[in-house]
Amino acid sequence: MQLSASVHLLKRQAKALARQAQIPLHQALDQIAKREGYNAWSLLAARATQSNLGQDLLAQLDPGELVLLGARPGQGKTLLSLELSIAAMQAGHRAYFFTLEYTAKDLAKCFARINANANDFTNQFVFDNTDSICANYIAQQLDQAPAGTLAVVDYLQLLDQKREHPTLQDQVEQLKAFAQQRGITLVFISQIDRRFDIDQAVMPTLADVRLPNPLELSLFNKACFLNQGDMQVAPTG
């Protein structure tokens, strides 16, 4: 779907609309997106950049790294993780998607939203939504995965939701050691605290990551944040 203007210019139009109508910027962005034929700004931004956003992110990651992918709801975390997975598979690697949130049908709809089909990657893409997902389970499922494999965990804060599981800190430490040893890139989708104002702040930071249980975020090699169609990637150190 062809946009009437560049994403940059559309953002400027949204800011002008927000001031004129005295509405939050995210509402103005969604109105502009609907005018362009999209249900939300996050969808417009994801589709406008789908040709290179996943590839751009993949180019900034190294095998064996732990990556935090964070944003408020509706900003495109899942879509970007799938674009990243597609980029990895197009580069000849396997991709895994571990989730406690999505069904296979849900994920198929997400693929469709970025004009992709999971069935096109049958031999490279593994979808897993078992209730047993935790660090031990993930390591077991990736035991035979070759170096260069990319695995998405959806999402970080759910890993220790069951009392019988180790603490979140222990699980991330375990997966960090595993990823480094095996050359597997692990991407953890993460919630961002509600106090983060998507209209006032340019981009979330590590301080905005929602942590119901203690976790040293320095365990992650890089953090990728999304807000209003923009992406920022930086080392956590």
Segment 183-222, tens digit of pLDDT = 999 999 999 999 998 777 789 999 999 998 999 999 999 9
Q: Are residues 81 and 167 in the same domain?
A: yes
Alpha carbon separation from 206 to 42, 46, 143, 160, 209 (Å, rounded): 21, 23, 30, 20, 5
If asked whether residues 79 and 130 sit together in one domain, one would say yes
Do 115 and 30 share a structural domain? no
2 is a domain residue = no
- Token digits of residue 220: 């992650």
- The verdict on 124 and 203 lying in the same domain is yes
**Angstrom distance (rounded) from CA 57 to CA 39:** 25
Grade residue 18 by pLDDT with cuts at 50, 70 and 90.
very high
Residue 227's domain spans which residues?
53-235
Pair (20, 81) in one structural domain:
no
**Per residue in 103-113, pLDDT tens?**
999 999 999 87
| pTM of the predicted model as reported, rounded to 2 decimal places | 0.81
Number of structural domains in the chain:
2
| pLDDT class of 168 with cuts at 50, 70, 90 | very high
Of 22, 9, 16, 43, nearest in space to 228 by CA: 43
As a dihedral over the C-alpha atoms of residue 218, residue 58, residue 14, residue 23, rounded to 10 degrees, the angle is: -30
Confidence of residue 163 (pLDDT cuts 50, 70, 90): confident
Residue 222 maps to a domain: yes
